[in-house]
Amino acid sequence: MTRTPSQQPEPAEPERTATPPAGAGEAAAGGLDWTQSAQALASVAGLDIAVRVKALEELLTRKGLVDPQALDAVVDLYENRIGPRNGARVVARAWTDPAYRARLLADADAAIAELGFTGAQGENMVVLENTAEVHNVIVCTLCSCYPWPVLGLPPNWYKSMPYRSRIVREPRAVLAEFGTVLPASTEVRVWDSNSELRYMVLPRRPAGTEGLDAEALAALVTRDSMIGVAEARQPERAA
Ligand code: FE
């Protein structure tokens, strides 16, 4: 697995006016004292977020405050285990179980929790069902709010300014860039996530999948289809 700093959970802003902790000034495990650490953080404060995160990670690692392998494990957890496959299971269940679908649309938190997916950034979920008439797509125009327990960490493009601004202004053009061209008769609705409300799209079940079981159906459900920038895969294209 490769990992870039920008794929990690968003870090808190470095504290620039913090009070030194007890014992500050003494050499820490990495050979840096508190003053040096604060200076190091201040020096990267104006840099790109990915560079800042990398600098912070290296500093904390040198000081012995974090274990890089532990960070890798956290990222692996969100990328590969608490990732979009969880959401895909939710979608596949909704496609195959009308009662579950109804519960999911009525109370997403409870229905998602039925499958064991809970945790930070998953509170106050709303699931939006795509139909022939309405296509939903999600964004966080302010930052990068995203339903971690069902989709994992947000892709970089989701956090980018162009996506956050353009999906609101010209959703059809952005969708087309993702290869999603919708009939003019389909209404496109853009939903702005925030820290108190997270959306997930329930994509349309592809035609010709009547004989597939939940596992095979889940393989058709991509992360992008649950953001709403794409539709679920057609069965012949499934891995
Ligand atoms: Fe946000």
Predicted pLDDT at 88: 96
Among the listed residues 143, 160, 165, 195, the single catalytic one is 143
Residues 116, 30 within the same domain: no
Active site residue 185: no
Residues 120, 157 within the same domain: yes
Q: Which residues contact 202 (CB under 8 A, 6 or more apart)?
A: 91, 94, 101, 104, 105, 127, 128, 129, 130, 226
CA of 198 to the centre of ligand 1 (A): 9
215 found inside a domain:
yes
Active site residue 140: yes
Count of domains forming the chain: 2
CA of 4 to the centre of ligand 1 (A): 20
Q: Give this prediction's pTM.
A: 0.71
Return the amino acid letter for 36: Q
Domain end point (choices 13, 36, 66): 66
Predicted pLDDT at 44: 62
Residues 129, 210 within the same domain: yes
What's the pLDDT tens digit per position in 75-110?
A: 777 766 778 899 999 999 999 999 999 999 999 999
pLDDT band per the 50, 70, 90 thresholds, residue 225: very high
Question: Residue 200 above 80 pLDDT?
Answer: yes
Predicted pLDDT at 195: 83
Question: Residue 28 above 60 pLDDT?
Answer: no
CA of 137 to the centre of ligand 1 (A): 15
Output the average pLDDT for the chain.
83
Residues 31, 96 within the same domain: no
10 found inside a domain:
no
CA of 171 to the centre of ligand 1 (A): 19
Q: For the domain that residue 221 is a member of, what is the CATH number?
A: 3.90.330.10
Predicted pLDDT at 160: 94
Among the listed residues 6, 37, 43, 144, the single catalytic one is 144
Question: Residue 70 above 60 pLDDT?
Answer: yes
125 found inside a domain:
yes
CA of 58 to the centre of ligand 1 (A): 26
201 found inside a domain:
yes
High-pLDDT (> 90) share of the chain, %: 54
Among the listed residues 37, 145, 193, 225, the single catalytic one is 145
Predicted pLDDT at 38: 65
Active site residue 195: no
55: containing domain = 22-66
Residues 116, 144 within the same domain: yes
CA of 159 to the centre of ligand 1 (A): 8
**Pairwise CA distance, residues 225 & 186, whole Å:** 16
